[in-house]
């Protein structure tokens, strides 16, 4: 294999089999040589000036890399694409999204280009070998293209997985906030609310419960509450608690609470709490999704005492 082929192969292998014309020229190829290989089928043209090594299997990651490389030097996967790469959302987006400082406004059917004048180098990191906006920036940018409920879910996932802290997200918001800056208005009230919570929830089920209570007139129970007896000995830990009413709230998911071992441990925990004067209320995922008004009705009865 010719030296220039080795160099280009090394570049492409680090980019899911994709490379730019500029990278090929830097390896010693001419434009004519690249076009000749395209005609022979040794290379595939993905976008103007973007090529894939022949035989490289198409993949979602390859398409994201091709989109990033086709715009300009300071470009990264962003918005829903970045949220998926960070694990903030589980559903793979149907179209790739990238962000750049300025682009040529050329029409692109296969992916979306967002322009941002506040994109700086330290807003871009590498995830799965791809240039991606930081997790903190991603969750803020998401507010410009997604429904608030999805943004909120991604914020809670990121906090729970320690991809960022509230302070880090707030610092980014303060850095880029200006009139017309999309995404900031969506995330800011969510940060304010979470700053007042006693602690972070530990599951999406708990996040859903919090969102339901917060949308009502009812007081928010304390999360991750530790119950102790009169001697200060540990009794159990509950998902939520109304301390004044001595009422514990447990949330049961079908995935994590229906196996025999967990089912038995949950009942043992409940019995220990009841034995020292606490009431225990249990809600399932299905109740929270299908009948949130019934959940709120029970909570209203608890807090009315």
- pLDDT value for 257: 39
What is the rounded distance in angstroms from the CA atom of residue 207 to the CA atom of residue 284? 13
Count the Cβ atoms, other than its own, within 10 Å of residue 228. 11
CATH 3.20.20.150 fits 204-303, yes or no: no
Q: What is the DSSP letter of 144?
A: G
- pLDDT value for 265: 64
CATH, range 3-56: 1.10.10
* Sequence-separated (6 or more) residues with CB below 8 Å from residue 217: none
Among 72, 132, 66, smallest CA distance to 102 is for 72
Count the Cβ atoms, other than its own, within 10 Å of residue 255. 11
- pLDDT value for 256: 43
- pLDDT value for 258: 43
Q: What is the DSSP letter of 48?
A: T
Count the Cβ atoms, other than its own, within 10 Å of residue 33. 14
Does this chain's domain 3-56 share its CATH topology with 204-303? Answer: no
- pLDDT value for 202: 63
- pLDDT value for 264: 57
What is the rounded distance in angstroms from the CA atom of residue 169 to the CA atom of residue 184? 10
122-158 pLDDT, tens digit per residue, is 999 999 999 999 999 999 999 999 999 899 989 988 9
- pLDDT value for 106: 56
- pLDDT value for 259: 43
- pLDDT value for 156: 87
User: Per-domain residue ranges for the chain?
Assistant: 3-56, 61-195, 204-303
40-85 pLDDT, tens digit per residue, is 999 999 999 999 998 888 999 999 999 999 987 789 999 999 999 9
What is the rounded distance in angstroms from the CA atom of residue 1 to the CA atom of residue 204? 53
* Sequence-separated (6 or more) residues with CB below 8 Å from residue 263: 257
**E strands along 6-137, which residues?**
18-20, 43-47, 50-53, 75-77, 96-100, 111-115, 124-127, 130-133
Residues of the chain with pLDDT under 70: 1, 103-107, 196-202, 254-267
- Output Rg (C-alpha) for the chain, integer angstroms: 26
Query: Helices (H) and strands (E) in the chain — how many of each?
Result: 14, 12
């Amino acid at each position: 294999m010719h030296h220039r082929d080795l160099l280009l192969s090394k570049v492409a292998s680090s980019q899911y089999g994709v490379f730019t014309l500029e990278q090929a020229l830097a390896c010693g190829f001419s434009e004519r040589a690249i076009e000749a290989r395209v005609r022979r089928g040794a290379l595939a043209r993905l976008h103007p000036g973007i090529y894939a090594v022949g035989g490289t299997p198409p993949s979602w990651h390859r398409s994201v890399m091709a989109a990033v490389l086709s715009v300009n030097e300071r470009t990264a996967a962003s918005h829903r694409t970045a949220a998926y790469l960070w694990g903030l959302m589980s559903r793979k987006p149907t179209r790739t999204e990238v962000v750049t400082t300025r682009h040529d406004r050329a029409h692109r059917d296969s992916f979306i280009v967002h322009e941002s004048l506040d994109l700086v180098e330290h807003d871009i990191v590498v995830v799965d070998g791809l240039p991606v906006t930081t997790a903190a920036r991603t969750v803020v940018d998401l507010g410009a293209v997604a429904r608030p409920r999805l943004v909120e879910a991604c914020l809670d996932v990121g906090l729970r997985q320690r991809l960022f802290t509230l302070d880090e997200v707030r610092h980014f918001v303060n850095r880029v906030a200006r009139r017309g800056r999309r995404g900031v208005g969506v995330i800011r009230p969510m940060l304010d609310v979470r700053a007042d919570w006693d602690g972070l929830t530990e599951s999406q089920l708990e996040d859903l419960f919090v969102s339901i209570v917060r949308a009502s007139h009812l007081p928010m129970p304390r999360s991750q509450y530790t119950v102790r007896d009169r001697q200060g000995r540990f009794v159990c830990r509950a998902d939520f608690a109304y301390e004044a009413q001595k009422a514990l709230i447990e949330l049961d998911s079908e995935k994590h609470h229906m196996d025999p071992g967990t089912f038995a441990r949950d009942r043992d925990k409940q019995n220990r709490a009841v034995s020292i004067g606490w009431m225990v209320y249990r809600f399932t995922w299905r109740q929270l999704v299908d009948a949130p008004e019934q959940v709120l009705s029970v909570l209203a009865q608890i807090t009315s005492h």
